Amino acid sequence: MSLMITDECINCDVCEPECPNGAISQGEEIYVIDPNLCTECVGHFDEPQCQQVCPVDCIPLDPGNEESHDQLYAKYERIMAVEG
């Protein structure tokens, strides 16, 4: 499952640089996460880095984008193949 940013976001900008896949960007009002790029840091870290640094705890799992660990790892491999 990818992550999402809720409207509790305070636009503090600490999450964006932590994302190893570049999935986080500034949206119209708050930061947003591209579910096509979010792997919950699978392949990079043991825990999602954006959740670790968020001061307001506004980055939950996105129930609209459920994925298994294997699916997240396969997405990570696709992203790394394109970047590599």
Domain ranges of the chain: 16-83
Is pTM beyond 0.85? Reply is yes
Selecting from 3.30.70.20, 3.30.450.20, 3.30.1330.10, 3.30.390.50, what CATH number does the domain 16-83 have?
Answer: 3.30.70.20
Q: What is the DSSP letter of 36?
A: T
H or E element in which residue 24 lies: strand 24-26
* pLDDT tens digits, 8-37: 999 999 999 999 999 999 999 999 999 999
User: Given a cut of 90, is residue 84 above it in pLDDT?
Assistant: no
